Structure formats: C-alpha cells, structure tokens
Amino acid sequence: MKATITKQCMGDRHCNNLCPEVFEYDEDQLLSIVKFDEIPAHLEDIVRQAAAECGADAIEIEE
C-alpha cells in the first residue's frame, strides 16, 4: 500500500497527530508528507483512517 498527500493539504496536522509514525509536517512545503514509500502492514489501517478523516481529502491511497 502506498499513500501520498496532494497539495490540497491544508496543514491542520490531523494526520500527524493520528499517526506520527507515518505522517510528518514539512515546514518548508507547509503541508504534510508521508515518511514511507511502502506503508508497513501494521500501519495500513490507521493510514486508511487518516485518509477518511482528512478534512481536505488530500491523502490518496493506492492499495
């Protein structure tokens, strides 16, 4: 599973708070980034939850 964050990200850091293992805030780009190329299996569910809860609909998942 892969996850990417589009430029629609509004930087509220909800995903960072929900799952800091995967999501990080990039102070230069002013949006969140995904730390992994391939999401570790044990973190897939929380990443799906982050995508569902993202208010900007900015987290795209590729299963």
Per rule CB under 6 A, is residue 47 in the interface with ligand SF4? no
x/- binding map, residues 3-42, to ligand SF4, per CB under 6 A? --x---xxxxxxx---------------xx----------
Per rule CB under 6 A, is residue 48 in the interface with ligand SF4? no
Per rule CB under 6 A, is residue 45 in the interface with ligand SF4? no
Show the 3-state SS of the chain: CEEEECCCCCCCCHHHHHCCCCEEEECCCCEEEECCCCCCHHHHHHHHHHHHHCCCCCEEEEC
Per rule CB under 6 A, is residue 56 in the interface with ligand SF4? yes
